Amino acid sequence: MSLTPTYFVNIAVSVAVVMWAATLHEVAHGYVAYRCGDPTAKNAGRLTLNPLKHLDLFGSVILPLVMALLGGPVFGYAKPVPYNPNNLRHRRRDEVLVAMAGPASNLLQALLGMVVWRIWLQADPAFLLASSGAGYWVCDVLTLYVWVNLILCFFNLIPLPPLDGSHLIAFFLHGRALDGYYKLSQYSMPLLIVLLYLLPDFLHVDPLGVYFNATAGSLYDLMMYTNLPWGLS
């Protein structure tokens, strides 16, 4: 690893991209909750794009910084928006809509990044092959923006509380199955730590890596490198 100024700039950009993507993720939760009848986030001043209102010191700064330094997938989280499901007009349905709004916002951000990247590429295909200059940095930031948002999208779709995917699973469960799922949820954070760190580091088994490659990785390749001009793919 070369500790050059470029290396530290890349780390800073990575953290900034995660902070912005996580901010929009939380705003999306709060906005959909508001549209479904719960004004809690709006009343708390959290329906704003000001990142300072949403940042979590560990999840928005320290975690993505450490992950960037380790060279792995970079993701993080912002402070969850306050939310009262009792205010929702159709609670069972609306809880799923509120939960899915976060990953959906990340997918939309990734699509926007792809569109801008392809427009830039169409204007000057040579910038993709450059190793320096403004075009290189635009390419680097845009591709990172797409990748980070895809990682955030699919990470949050993992069906373990408190991640958003757990609400989707709970929607389809009833009775004893739902009770059993809620009991399992108390072990979700230790399970995530095992999946993220212990299995890859000690047993060299990386189920989340396989999952990200099959989801975020495959979609990233499809979005960014399909139908590129010859010699650039």
The yes-or-no answer on residue 95 being catalytic is no
Q: Per-residue pLDDT for 73 more than 70?
A: no
Question: Residues 6 or more apart from 195 whose CB is under 8 A from it?
Answer: 207, 208
Contact status, residue 46 vs residue 54, Cβ threshold 8 Å: yes
Contact status, residue 40 vs residue 87, Cβ threshold 8 Å: yes
pLDDT in tens, 183-226: 776 666 677 767 766 677 677 878 888 889 999 999 999 998 88
- C-alpha 185/C-alpha 187 separation (Å) is 5
Contact status, residue 39 vs residue 87, Cβ threshold 8 Å: yes
Beta strands in the chain (DSSP E): none
Distances in Å between the Cα of 124 and the Cα atoms of 135, 139, 223, 224 are 9, 11, 18, 16
Binning pLDDT at 50, 70 and 90, where does residue 231 land? very low
- C-alpha 45/C-alpha 226 separation (Å) is 41
Question: Domain limits of the chain?
Answer: 5-225
pTM of this prediction? 0.86
pLDDT in tens, 6-57: 777 778 888 889 889 999 999 999 999 999 999 999 999 999 999 889 988 8
Q: Which one from 14, 21, 26, 36 is the annotated catalytic residue?
A: 26
Quote the tokens at residue 232: 């650039």
Q: What is the mean pLDDT of the chain?
A: 84
Give me the pLDDT at residue 130, please: 60
- C-alpha 209/C-alpha 201 separation (Å) is 12
- Phi, psi for 17 (deg, rounded to 5): -65, -45
